[in-house]
Amino acid sequence: MRRVGVAGALAKTSADVPAMGGDGRQIALPRSDLDQLRASIRGLVLLPGNEGYEQARKVWNGSFDRRPAIIVRCAGAADVIETVRFAAAHGPLLAVRAGGHSMSGQSVCEGGLMLDLSMMRGVRIDPLQQVAYVQPGSLLGEFDREAQSFGLATTAGTVSHTGVAGLTLGGGFGRLSRSYGLTCDNLRSVDVIPASGKFTVANARENPELFWGVRGGGGNFGVVTSFEYQLRPTRSMMVGGALIYPFSQARELLKFYADFARAAPDELWIEPAIVPTSDGSREVVFSVCYSGEPSDAEAALRPLRAFRKPNKDHVGPARYIDLQTSSDEVFAYGRCYYVKQGFLERIQPELVDVVVEHIERTQPALVVGFLHLGGAQSRVAAAATAFPHRNAQHGILLASIWSDRSESAARIDTARSSWRVIEPYVRGFYVNDVTADHTQQTISENYGSNFARLLALKRKYDPHNLFRLNANVPPNG
Ligand code: FAD
């Protein structure tokens, strides 16, 4: 209560606003400059105690209960320019929030400035050119729905309330990436506001090096205020759903899957996960999407169905946008999450043995899933965009999900010790799954041979590391 009282008073006084600097030092944001910022934007400047502040600071991962000193809710690119200039002039710790799905809570910061793009939600489809113009606060489900109403789509992630912006800037894979490549491979152009506050267009003709960097380099170089995507004709009815097997078959199924998935056509996306069930046991759930001719789906899945008959077979004709929302509840907004992920060039039988044995022995309250990558996204050269992990045919991911924050330490501890068993097998990680456990050296090395180019871009577009809450490329190398 006291906290709210003090915050409320601060919102009303003319005192300077104490804030956390990007370098960790305490700073004061001059009230007159804040008032000027408020007067110059169409959106909202919220301080603790202001109406809407409590709602605006919430992000997808309920583990992060952080209180920014200021939240600027931008209504358009002009607001972003003003806010970036304000941040560059005064140096608060800056968090950029789009869909708010950062696994590690990087889109909200304690005591800093949260630049909130979630009011910028426009999606415009040009069906003749098969192009989409998407504002950065848009969610994948909004983008999918607009594009599908014209029989179009591009690669999106597998949970529809994820943000388009963060996903694209880190790479972006999902049900269609084996056919269409990563989301960032389908990007045609972006508008970016770098640390200078200067509106900058980046595409194959204008600022091509920056365009290269935003495709996998995350939010390191500035705030993207518009995304332009190439869309593709995409059927609305596909074949998809889940095949469910008993956990007792996990070893043989996952070893079979390793070869089956490798030989699968690009149109087949199939991801197995070992999932705890409500009766305290586990099952193996294969999520399926076949995006090619529906009549070919049966043949594509036949080897798996013939290998072991599933307990439950829920695979059949399904609308693409329904498949895209089918995992939304499992990863509902506001619960607590801890996720670890790594890439795999192949699923070695030894890894399967290690994972299944670990689960049998320790019974961790975790979901362990394999990503199905490869296909078109692997036929792009590692240096063609900043996303370097083109050889990865799979990823492995573990997720702990809970609701009571008092369980957080124990949950994270369990997930970390389970990850220690898996970690020796992975080669790099997805920048969008960066965690506080990753050291700066690991993050820099994860960009592989693309790091030197990213560093040069960082020095040009963000020399003082204003945009540091990401898989950071520090300008000092
Ligand atoms: P936010 O939390 O808003 O932003 C994350 C970070 O991105 C920010 O900290 C900032 O550094 C940067 N950023 C965001 N917007 C901008 C911008 N406009 N300009 C500059 N920088 C910006 N990824 C996949 O590829 N495929 C999946 O299938 C997939 N599934 C997921 C499912 C769930 C439930 C979740 C939580 C995540 C999933 N992800 C997936 C990971 C996802 O790509 C990242 O969490 C991504 O960061 C989400 O974007 P956002 O805009 O919602 O995030």
Going residue by residue through the chain, which has 477 residues, state the pLDDT in tens, using 9 for 90 and above.
334 444 555 566 779 999 999 999 999 999 999 999 999 999 999 999 999 999 999 999 999 999 999 999 999 999 999 999 999 999 999 999 999 999 999 999 999 999 999 999 999 999 999 999 999 999 999 999 999 999 999 999 999 999 999 999 999 999 999 999 999 999 999 999 999 999 999 999 999 999 999 999 999 999 999 999 999 999 999 999 999 999 999 999 999 999 999 999 999 999 999 999 989 899 999 999 999 999 999 999 999 999 999 999 999 999 999 999 999 999 999 999 999 999 999 999 999 999 999 999 999 899 999 999 999 999 999 999 999 999 999 999 999 999 999 999 999 999 999 999 999 999 999 999 999 999 999 999 999 999 999 999 999 999 999 999 999 999 998
- State if residue 137 touches ligand 1 by the CB under 6 angstroms criterion: no
Counted residue by residue, the chain has a size of 477
Quote the ligand 1 centre to 400 CA distance (angstroms). Answer: 18
- Our answer on whether the CB atom of 17 is closer than 6 Å to any ligand 1 atom is no
User: Which residue's alpha carbon is at the smallest distance from atom 21 of ligand 1?
Assistant: 219
Entry pTM: 0.96
Dist. CA 18 → ligand 1 center (Å): 29
Q: How many whole angstroms from 215 Cα to the centroid of ligand 1? A: 13
| Rounded (10°) CA dihedral 212, 217, 222, 224 | 70
* Closest approach atom of ligand 1 to CA 337: 36
3-state secondary structure of 10: helix
136 lines ligand 1 (CB under 6 A): yes
> Is the CB of residue 428 below 6 angstroms from any atom belonging to ligand 1?
no
Closest CA to 384 of 395, 393, 376: 376
Q: Is the distance from CB of 162 to CB of 139 less than 8 angstroms?
A: yes
Q: Which of 309, 296, 298, 315 is nearest to 253 (CA)?
A: 309
C-alpha 219 to ligand 1 mean position (Å) = 10
372, two tokens: 């199905």
What's the 102 CA to ligand 1 centre distance in angstroms? 5
Joined together, the tokens standing for residue 433 give: 């799954």
The Cα-based distances of 441 to 438, 444, 445, 447, 462 in angstroms read 8, 5, 6, 10, 19
* pLDDT tens by residue, 377-387: 999 999 999 99
* H/E stretch holding 161: none
Q: What angle do CA 199, 385, 464 make, to 5 degrees?
A: 45
CB of 473 closer than 6 angstroms to any ligand 1 atom = no
31-46 tens-digit pLDDT: 999 999 999 999 999 9
Q: Is the dihedral of CA 317, 318, 319, 321 positive or negative?
A: negative
Helices (H), 344-446: 349-362, 408-422, 440-446
**Could you tell me if the CB of 165 is within 6 A of ligand 1?**
yes
Atom of ligand 1 nearest to the CA of 172: 25
Angle at 239 between CA 236 and CA 241, to 5 degrees: 115
Expressed in angstroms, the distance from the first to the final Cα of the chain is 44
- Give yes or no for residue 400 CB within 6 A of ligand 1: no
Name the residue type at position 169: L
Instruction: Select from 162, 224, 340, 430 the residue to mutate for testing ligand 1; criterion: most ligand atoms less than 8 Å from CB.
Output: 162
Q: Is 97 in the pocket of ligand 1 (CB under 6 A)?
A: yes
Protein residue whose Cα sits closest to atom 4 of ligand 1:
166
Residue type, 104: S
